[in-house]
Amino acid sequence: MSIEQLAETAQAMVAAGKGIIAIDESNNTIAKRFEAVGIPNSEENRRAYREMLLTTPGLNEHISGAILYDETIRQSTRAGVPFTKLMRDNGIIPGIKVDKGPQPLAGFPGEVVTEGLDGLRDRLKEYYGLGARFAKWRAVIHIGEDIPSGSCIEANSHALARYAALCQEQGLVPMVEPEVLMDGSHDIETCYEVTEVVLRSLFDALYQQSVMLEGTILKASMVVPGKDCEEQASIDEVAESTLMCLKTTVPAILPGIVFLSGGQSDADATAHLDAMNRMGPQPWPLSFSYGRAMQSAALKLWAQDLVGNVARAQQIVHARARDNGLAALGQWTGGA
């Protein structure tokens, strides 16, 4: 696929007022979410849940793409329509999570590096054949005493860049996600400093690996204090700090930035995105790629009646998509 086609896909992913829904939880992660609301973690329940999300009426008004898990990209609706076909028919771009998750970084206690590069070229080829047009790889950066180390940041940036180069070779837009975790008692200034170093390292690595930024999307964490920090920040403070950090580190040629919710409340994730877009115009479209912040309320309702509550759960999904779509335009009014 040419760089023009990759750039076209990337631009479509961040079309005005649209964002990405992340439904790429591994089977272990979805097991925890299901357990919390009392749903047995069977393949059929996972399939039915993803079908409920993807068949939400009007989803494509605010959602440009969805990140799927390996199991999900191979599944179909009850009526036998492959999820990827259903998505394409509704103008939603199929994406796929391809990393194998974080593992302890040898020699660096308390730090992790994301694995999954082995055999990735062949997996990407298969996913492209299954209909995926973008992929996602998440690196995890912890803030703590004397961490993150430079070695941890470098190892994760290098892996993200190798993954991105392989994606583009196979015709997939790479979504690069260096998540600086909210866990901890650090203040917003510390988060800013770490995020800045991480993003500088990432874009340096992407350049070293000849990744074409015009066909790449950044999935960024916001600059927020740790959840155990005594002094929490205002909506505007988070928006201003995040924007300043991005403008200092992210090249303007990038087609767009989508944010992860990273454990923020649904309302906070939307309010922060809205505030940033109200401070615009920015060098790139700023949108969302939310998982929990798009799904948690709908999952709770659906759990009460897996058949009878589908339509009501979908109304919640649509409302969350609409709110975040408005926030991506800086037009959210805070109404539920």
- CA neighbor of 102 nearest in space, from 110, 93, 94, 91: 110
Question: Span 230-256, mean pLDDT?
Answer: 97
The answer to whether the CB of 216 falls within 8 A of the CB of 284 is no
Each residue's pLDDT tens digit, 114-140: 999 999 999 999 999 999 999 999 999
**Is position 177 annotated as part of the catalytic site?**
yes
Give the dihedral of Cα atoms 31, 35, 38, 43; nearest 10 deg. Answer: 10
pLDDT computed for residue 149 by the predictor: 98
Q: What is the pTM of this model?
A: 0.96
Task: Tell me what the mean pLDDT of segment 64-86 comes to.
Answer: 98
| Residue 71 bears catalytic tag | no
Q: Which of 18, 97, 136, 219 is catalytic?
A: 219
Catalytic pick from 25, 51, 177, 179? 177
Structural domains in the chain plus CATH codes: 3-327 (3.20.20.70)
pLDDT digits (tens, 9 = 90+) for 90-107: 999 999 999 999 999 999
Structure confidence at residue 280 (pLDDT): 82
Mean of pLDDT values over 243-259:
98
Return d(Cα 284, Cα 63) in angstroms, integer: 18
What value does the mean pLDDT take over residues 33-62? 96
Mean pLDDT, rounded, of the chain: 96
In this model, does residue 1 exceed pLDDT 90? no
